[in-house]
Amino acid sequence: MELTREQFEVLRYLEATHLKSPQAQVISWETGLEEPRVQRALEQLAPQGWVRENNITAEGRRALQPYRVKRAVFIAAGFGSRLVPVTLNTPKPLVRVKGVRMIDTLLDAVYAAGIQDVTIVRGYLGEQFDQLLYKYPNLKFIENPMYNEANNISSAYIARELLGNAYVLEADLVLYNPKLIQKYQYCSNYLGVPTPVTDDWCFEVDGDLITKVKVGGENCCHMYGISYWTQADGDRLAGHIQTVFKSPGGKERYWDLVPLEFFRDSYHIEVRRCTFEDIIEIDTFKDLKALDSTYRC
């Protein structure tokens, strides 16, 4: 039986909370659902045996399993030219920010969410990623020999069979809020921050639905490179990425444009809202120096 969105959100909260028998008002605060919708979901879940006295049951946990994220794929093959000189000898995801490698902030969150199937697509100075195995011994790597001649669609193309029921993460982000990487997801989505104006990549949205991706805009959502893809969408995406990659000029594309622009009508992709305090993308060496004083010497 497929869960409704409100049933899913209530079950996911009850699975994660340490509170015993939380009231509908508390669930409403934590999930963002209006209290009447929470109460309705609880009333629907109880007869199924999925909730008892506002606590999730073993049957309720089983009902969540179809929404369990199975894997994470990291896009980490690029050179990081705008972070020169620090990337001359170090891949950008391995650059330390206040003593912590960028990619560690993401990997820690992925493993904390119980996701054990983790693959990194590497290219530039790829052997340096082996150092991650000391901390994360179960990591898997895929080599991208095209990183120097193609855009990041080449990494998505190489890993295209792994995109179903998976997070896809740009490996050069610094994640401050690990709770953004969640154990369960309801639908395909991208992280985005509502903002009155941005000159960076952003989404136009209709409610939660992403309707357009562009560079620069007003009253939009600033785009961050962490997305989730259902199994069905991931299977569809594998074929669409291959089609674009093999088309004239396809190697020069950003992989995100495949579902968000070239085949937009084939997907229902939502924005998963967060804040600028949750995550940061370090684009340039100037940004890095502003964030970490050790690079100012």
b vs e for 189-222, b when ≥16 Cβ sit within 10 Å of the residue's Cβ?
bbbbbbbeebeebbbbbeebebeebeeebeebbb
For the segment 113-162, what is each residue's pLDDT rounded down to a tens digit? Answer: 999 999 999 999 999 999 999 999 999 999 999 999 999 999 999 999 99
Question: pLDDT value at position 126?
Answer: 97
Distance CA 158, CA 91 (A): 19
For residue 249, pLDDT over 80 is answered with yes
For the segment 255-273, what is each residue's pLDDT rounded down to a tens digit? Answer: 999 999 999 999 999 999 9
For the segment 122-134, what is each residue's pLDDT rounded down to a tens digit? Answer: 999 999 999 999 9
Proportion of the chain above pLDDT 70, given as a percent: 100
For the segment 234-244, what is each residue's pLDDT rounded down to a tens digit? Answer: 999 999 999 99
For residue 50, pLDDT over 80 is answered with yes
For residue 55, pLDDT over 90 is answered with yes
Counting Cβ atoms within 10 Å, is residue 38 exposed (0-12), middle (13-18) or buried (19+)? buried
Q: What is the pTM for the complete model shown? A: 0.95
Paired tokens of 155: 């990494």
For residue 231, pLDDT over 90 is answered with yes
Paired tokens of 102: 């960028």
Band (pLDDT 50/70/90 cuts) for residue 285 is very high
Question: pLDDT value at position 296?
Answer: 83
